[in-house]
Structure 1
Amino acid sequence: MKNQWRVIIILILVLLVAAFAVVNVSEVPISLLFTTVHWPLVLVILVSLVAGALITFLVSMGTIMTQKREHRNEIDVATKEIDELREENAALKRRVNNVSSENGQQNQKIEEL
């Protein structure tokens, strides 16, 4: 059912683009540095659209790469902090076990007396 709706929507969009192309077939002059070319208006619009989409994609990829790098750095810092906390936790457990064993030895000595 979903696929049918997608196909219908795509067909409607294709029809709209085709109608847009038919309506905008008149040629327009485009000045390129030392020359002027005449292209159909629809082609000028579509090339501009693709160029804009490409520029947007490239800029967003730069932003995404920067965010990934920052995220990776944050993960590295968090991993290091977790490792330090685990070491501290292990040291505290050893300390607690030492105190417990010392208390046990003292209790044994008291019982022997």
Structure 2
Amino acid sequence: MTYHEGRDLDVDGGRGRNSPPIKLIAFGVVAIAIVIFFLQNGESAPIHFLWMDVDWPIRMVILVSLVAGILIDRLGSYFWNRARRRKHERDD
């Protein structure tokens, strides 16, 4: 092991910068915008869905829609990957 005086360690992986990744910054900006949008929509709105007729705060509708979208995405990904895995196993 040698010691090189005056040389700094390459802590950024050779990319020549020490700033946070742009994707992290973009995610933070989008997350802040979503929180602001969520907090500004507190008024109630009539919801008519199937047999339900209720008055919910708009932020609750946004939250339920977000959760439903995430669940649909995860279920779709699960079944898509499962089908691809089965097809790959049959081909082998």
Greater fraction of residues in helix: 1
Matches within 5 A, 1:41-52: 41-52=58-69
Alignment length, in residue pairs?
73
Unaligned runs of 5+ in 1: 76-113
**Measured at CA, do residues 66 and 30 of structure 1 come closer, stay the same or move farther in structure 2, by a change above 3 Å?**
same
Aligned equivalents of 1:71, 1:3: Cα separation in 2? 39
Equivalent residues of 2:44, 2:58 under 8 A apart: yes
Residues in 2 aligned to 1:22 and 1:45: alpha-carbon distance in whole angstroms: 11
Higher relative contact order at CA 8 Å, sep ≥6: structure 1 or structure 2?
Answer: 2
Q: Which runs of 5+ in 2 are unaligned?
A: 1-17
Question: TM-score of the superposition, structure 2-length normalised?
Answer: 0.61
Name the % identity.
32
State the superposition RMSD in angstroms: 2.3
* 1:56 aligns to 2:48 (yes or no): no
